[in-house]
Amino acid sequence: MTGNASKTTASFIQISDDDKGYPLDQFCIPKHYEEDLERVLIPEGLINDRTERLARDIVADFGNEPIVVLCVLKGGYKFFTDLVDKIKVLNRNSGHSVQLGIDFIRLKSYVNESSSGKIEVIGGDNLENLKGKNVLIVEDIIDTGRTMQQLLELMTSVQPKCVKVASLLLKRTPASVGYIPNYIGFEVPNLFLVGYALDYNEFFRDLSHICVINSTGKEKYSVKQ
């Protein structure tokens, strides 16, 4: 079974389009980014608590079956790390445990604010190792959904036993193809978000909170084409 819109009952925290977030001066923001951000949308503490609940749901769903957790790099590494750590805590302290394997894949489709329309897959040569296994793909954000659909098609070709997708964020965008992952942290407005390993041309990965980038930041860190 692969994760898709018709076979998921995912729940999430919805952040409305008119959500004002939090002023930057109420949080510790790296000095080098203070002029580049509009507001904090999701504080790190809230991300941490939501990730803990997702970990509990995943362990409950998979039962005692082993799973391979496939991290989508680069943006997914922070959510992936925290999610795996919380599953490991549950393994140590709950009545049953889930054996974890770890693997990585890198996808690239963005330049500045727009998708390039070309999905670059790096490190997929060893996906044959996933044949017959339960796979949990961990992603930072589902935007249009096209990238994840392409990855799921690739996964089908290696014949895993089961594939589910956990995404920290699901963006509401008119460009969406309607794909919904199995596990969702937050549904967010159609904004360009950075922080917690989400980047803008490789910057802002070192920002702890998820924030809205402003026009100054977009200009400063844009790729000249």
The pLDDT tens digits for 207-216 are 999 999 999 9
Q: Exposed (0-12), middle (13-18) or buried (19+): which is 74, by Cβ within 10 Å?
A: middle
- Residue 66: per-residue pLDDT: 96
Q: Is 23 within a domain?
A: no
Could you give the residue numbers annotated as active site? Answer: 143
pLDDT beyond 60 at 1: no
- Residue 121: per-residue pLDDT: 67
Q: Which two tokens stand for residue 21?
A: 């977030």
Q: What value does the mean pLDDT take over residues 183-200?
A: 96
CA distance 53 to 57: 6
Name the residue among 141, 142, 148 with its Cα closest to residue 194: 141
Q: Is 207 within a domain?
A: no
- Residue 109: per-residue pLDDT: 62
pLDDT beyond 80 at 220: yes
Average pLDDT value over all residues in the chain = 89
61 alpha carbon, distance to own chain's centre: 19
Per-residue confidence band for 6, with pLDDT thresholds at 50, 70 and 90: very low
- Residue 223: per-residue pLDDT: 82
Q: What value does the mean pLDDT take over residues 184-188?
A: 98
Q: Which amino acid is at 115?
A: S
Q: Is 211 within a domain?
A: no
Record the pTM.
0.88
22-38 per-position pLDDT tens digit: 999 999 999 999 999 99
Q: What value does the mean pLDDT take over residues 50-54?
A: 97
- Residue 113: per-residue pLDDT: 53
Number of structural domains (the chain) is 1
CA distance 215 to 225: 18
121-179 per-position pLDDT tens digit: 666 556 888 999 999 999 999 999 988 998 898 889 899 999 999 999 999 999 999 99
Per-residue confidence band for 74, with pLDDT thresholds at 50, 70 and 90: confident
Report the percentage of the chain scoring pLDDT > 70: 87
Q: What value does the mean pLDDT take over residues 178-199?
A: 96
Q: Is 140 within a domain?
A: yes
Range of the domain at 120: 5-14+45-189
Q: Provide the 3-class DSSP secondary structure of residue 213.
A: strand
Q: Is 99 within a domain?
A: yes
Q: Is 209 within a domain?
A: no
pLDDT beyond 70 at 95: yes
Q: CATH number of the domain that 182 lies in?
A: 3.40.50.2020
Q: Is 215 within a domain?
A: no
Q: Is 110 within a domain?
A: yes
